[in-house]
A and B are shown apart, each in its own frame.
Chain A
Amino acid sequence: MMTRPLGFEKPLGMRDILPESLAKQRHLEASLRNCIEKWGYAEIYTPSLEYFDTVGTASATLADRMFKLLDKQGHTVVLRPDLTTPIARVVSSLYKDVPMPIRLYYQANVFRAQEKEAGRDAEFFQTGVELIGDASVDADAEAIALAVFALRAAQVPSFKIAIGHIDFVDGLLEEIVADSEIQAQLQQFLHDRDYVGYRQTVEELSITENDRRRLHTLLHLRGDGRKIADAYDLTVNGKARKAVETLASLWKALEAYGVTDDLLLDFNLISNLNYYTGIVFEGYAADLGSPLLGGGRYDHLLAQFGRPAPATGFALKMDRLMQVTSLVAQPAAAKTYIGYTAGKRDEALREAQRLRQAGNIVVTRLFASVAEYEQAMQETAGNWILLQGQEEGE
């Protein structure tokens, strides 16, 4: 049902950011920027609109969640649903001769259409990093360690980053379950976080009791580095075991960074089935219902733009970070107000400029009378100065 919008209404999921919160957000962004640049990442900006046929189809965001429109030539364009895909486009075109690895970061707004209600913005701000052209586990470790340092820089009092590997679940299911349709079904249950559905399906499989136990154990494989041994025991060979080995060497690298206290392993973490290709991670904060950070390895994306390369990265959700950060915006400096009456304009503006050069914030304002000036002085706190001229006939 579409009724004519009222004057104060905005499209679903759009919001205003008023000066007080924007000041806090900018302060938060500056802290993150300061942290990320120390790791050698350079800031990049990409356009708000992209072609649906290029960035739109390559993006991890589902097509039905994109804002689509037509440009004047009749092409379907989308409001950028993320920055990772446009960055892949840039790295494969404008940056095609720049040697890898390439380290880029962004602070920008992205757009994703929402079906549901409050708290689910359709336009939101992200700070993210991409490390492109390095397939090593050290690159994964760098992305995760940087995520930890970024959350610390953002002064999130209590957080955890959960780490998993796409191939672990995939490989384990392949080892045990013959039917690929049931494999996909079990994977979907894990993706939907429906452990009840997963268990029921496992119970109905005709497999050995030992294999059944292995599939059930998968649900409990989360914790610190000690879980690696349990996960190793669960696998026989191939993909799943290789994933455990990768996670084991990742954990060593993360120990070298000294960040493992803020991390946990979750061997059944599955996010974005068709997009991520290896190590994946998600960040959580105390008293925040949804993840505030997501990332992982996406080795297939760059090839879609003609420059195949391994890549990893993450994005922080600024609106969620705003809810948990203990950073506060710098209190605004006191303002000086110079009021003047008609005859004193030249003098007032000169004085204002002199004070601004000396570092003050100065607001100038024309008043018709002293009474009007006094009224304004009562309404707004600050240093008030009145330059009153000889009025030419009251």
Chain B
Amino acid sequence: MSSSFKEEPKLTIAMPKGRIFEEAVGFLQQAGLNVTAELKDSRKLIIPVEGTNLQFILAKPTDVPTYVEYGVADVGVVGKDVLLEEERDVYELLDLRIGYCRMMVAGLPGWKPTEAPRVASKYPRIASRYFRQQGQQVEVIKLNGSVELAPMIGLADRIVDIVSTGQTLRENGLVELEHICDITTRLIANRASYRMKSEAVDDVAQKFLQVIPKR
């Protein structure tokens, strides 16, 4: 006589503002999660999706893995560059194959090894790890933006940064020296949510999987 009512657990998805936001929102739309309008227009940071068990958190990209590791978001959408830099303990479930770019070493044309090499980067851990693997000891200077400026003003002789078209590098008179790795956007999940909310997490992953661009 009475309808059985079982409340589904809420699933919180952390979305990155910035570089990959537009593409990621388009991705959600294709995956059938109709949240585009709310996400784009809203100035709110937490956005529940009516009629579903989903809610979104809008976060700075570097904070997405932090939210997911601590479990305040169950899953998150974030670039591999951030994952490599932050080294958070999370499940990396899917390569969404969007937000493609390359992690590069760049410098002024005709760059020659120097006695005390200095590298400027927004990604100090990635830079340190990479040069260590190459058997080079370098001093890494952490910058928060406009990294391309560093070689021109003599702050560093090389930089490590993500490059998509290479236009910014060219405009600043820099050339790509070494390719570290390719970067794409990933779906990540919290360790406990992956187990405690496995159905909801799998459901989102499955929806995403359907719309991942083929190679």
Contacts and interface: CB of A to CB of B under 8 A. Distances in A.
Interface of A: 119, 158, 160, 162, 193-197, 199-200, 222-223, 264, 266, 282, 284-291
Interface residues of B, number: 20
A195 B196 contact: no
B195 A285 contact: no
A285 B196 contact: yes
A192 to B, nearest CB: 8
Main secondary structure of the interface of B (DSSP, over half): mixed
Main secondary structure of the interface of A (DSSP, over half): mixed
Contact of A284 (B70, B93, B196): B196
A256 B42 CA distance: 53
B72 interface: yes
B191 A290 contact: yes
B196 A160 contact: yes
Given A284-B195, A284-B196, A195 B92 contact: yes
Nearest to A117: B66
A222 B71 CA distance: 20
A196 B192 contact: no
Contacts of A288: 71, 192
B128 interface: no
Contacts of A194: 92
Given A193-B191, A286-B9, A289-B190, A200 B196 contact: no
Interface in B94-143: 94-95
A289 B68 CA distance: 8
Contacts of B94: 195-196
A76 B127 CA distance: 34
Nearest to B190: A289
Given A196-B95, A289-B72, A158 B190 contact: no
A291 B191 contact: yes
A222 B93 CA distance: 14
B21 interface: no
Nearest to A119: B70
Most buried by B among A196, A197, A284, A287: A196
Nearest to A320: B192
Most buried by B among A193, A264, A266, A287: A193
B191 to A, nearest CB: 6
B192 A289 contact: yes
Given A284-B196, A287-B71, A197 B92 contact: yes
Most buried by B among A158, A194, A222: A194
A211 to B, nearest CB: 21
Contacts of A285: 192, 196
B52 interface: no
A287 B196 CA distance: 9
B165 interface: no
B198 interface: yes
B157 interface: no
21 contacts: A119-B70, A160-B195, A193-B90, A193-B91, A195-B94, A196-B92, A196-B93, A196-B94, A196-B95, A196-B186, A197-B92, A223-B198, A264-B195, A264-B198, A284-B191, A287-B71, A288-B71, A289-B70, A289-B71, A289-B193, A291-B191
Contacts of A287: 71
Nearest to B88: A116
Contacts of A200: 95
Contacts of A282: 195
Contacts of B192: 284-285, 288-291
A33 B162 CA distance: 54
**Nearest 8 pairs between A and B by C-beta?**
A289-B71, A284-B192, A193-B91, A196-B95, A194-B92, A284-B195, A289-B70, A196-B92
A13 to B, nearest CB: 16
A289 B69 contact: yes
Contacts of A119: 70
A240 B104 CA distance: 41
Contacts of A264: 195, 198
Nearest to A282: B195
Nearest to B198: A222
Contacts of B193: 289
Contacts of A290: 71, 191-192
A196 B69 CA distance: 17
A195 B198 CA distance: 15
Nearest to B72: A289
A266 B92 CA distance: 16
Interface string B171-204: 0000000000000001000111101101000000
Contacts of B69: 289
A17 B90 CA distance: 29
Contacts of A197: 92
A325 to B, nearest CB: 16
A289 B70 CA distance: 5
A288 B191 CA distance: 10
Contact of A195 (B9, B70, B93, B190): B93
A288 B190 CA distance: 10
Nearest to A223: B198
B96 to A, nearest CB: 10
A195 B209 CA distance: 13
